[in-house]
Structures are given as structure tokens and as C-alpha cells.
Amino acid sequence: MKNLLLPLLIAIPLIACNNQTTAQENKHEQSYKSPGKPSMKVEMDYSVSKERVAVGETVDISVNFSGKQKPSSAMLKTSKQLVLHGNSQLNMQKSGNQTEHKFSVTPMTEGIHLVTVVAEDAQQSHKKPFAIRIIAGDKPIEAYLEKNGTLTTDEDGEKIISMPAEER
């Protein structure tokens, strides 16, 4: 009996010490959480005078910013075949009033064109982009989308898009 108690008395403190060390290691692994990428807490509402337009027809757009943060300025960027009328930078007032900002664009070719509005808070160096879609032409939207590959189904019933290789 004495022979069994002696190894048991030595093993119990060693096991307890090992369990405490493991618990402390797990505690340190779970304590850190990444804050994520900083971004501006702003939302944008917009209205477009027409959903679809003809080539060369001007579209009036108004944007309004809301949310926890108000941007100090916003940059307007357009796709290649879309002409912006007016200034490409919107300056915001730092007041509590919600002000609509208006500008116009004209598509020069058929297709889907984008106006990118990048809201910026200069004090905190945060930016947040928004996109406004303008469709010029009478065709269905699917006709303007670029087809990247062909859709096939393999022997297991899974859908696969076969893409062409790009040589450079």
C-alpha cells in the first residue's frame, strides 16, 4: 500500500501544476482580438433622374451623406466614357444640416457606366467609396455584361466556369 501512495503523492502535484500552466497558456491565446480595418461610419443616399438613358442624354444625380461621421469632402470619379459636368470635388459643411449635393453626367457610349463617390474625412484620414450605376442604351443589362468564360457542369453535377488564359 505504501508503494502505491508514494508515487501517487508525487504525481498529483505535478499534474495540478501542468493543468494550471495549460490554462494560463489558453487564456493568453484568446485575449487578443483584432480591431479590424478602420473605416468611416458614413452612409450615402442618392437619387438619379432616370434609370436608363440614351447615349448623349444628361443624367442629374443628387447625393446625401448621413451616419455617425460626416465627410469633409467627396471626390467624384467616372468611368472612361462618362462625362462629368461640374467640379469633381464636393466640399461639405461641418454642420448638422443634411445638404444634398447635385451634379450631372452624360454617357458617351452604350453600356453600364459607374460614378464613384469617395467620401473622405481629412481629420481622421478615413475614406469610404460608393458607386452609382448609369445604364445607357435600350438593350437588356445582360447584353452589356462582359462574359468572362463558359459555364459547364462536371460529372458530379458541380457548375464550373471555364476561363480563357491570358497571355502576356
Helix intervals (H) in 31-132: none
- pTM equals 0.62
Q: Residue 60 has what pLDDT?
A: 94
Cell digits for 55?
Answer: 447615349
Segments in the chain below pLDDT 50: 23, 28
User: What residues does each domain of the chain span?
Assistant: 42-140
Q: Residue 90 has what pLDDT?
A: 85
What topology does CATH give the domain 42-140?
Immunoglobulin-like (2.60.40)
CB 10 within 8 A of CB 34: no
CB 45 within 8 A of CB 62: no
Q: Residue 47 has what pLDDT?
A: 92
Q: Residue 87 has what pLDDT?
A: 87
Q: Residue 48 has what pLDDT?
A: 93
Report CA dihedral (111, 85, 48, 54) to the nearest 10 degrees: -40
Whole-number Å distance between alpha carbons of 67 and 90: 18
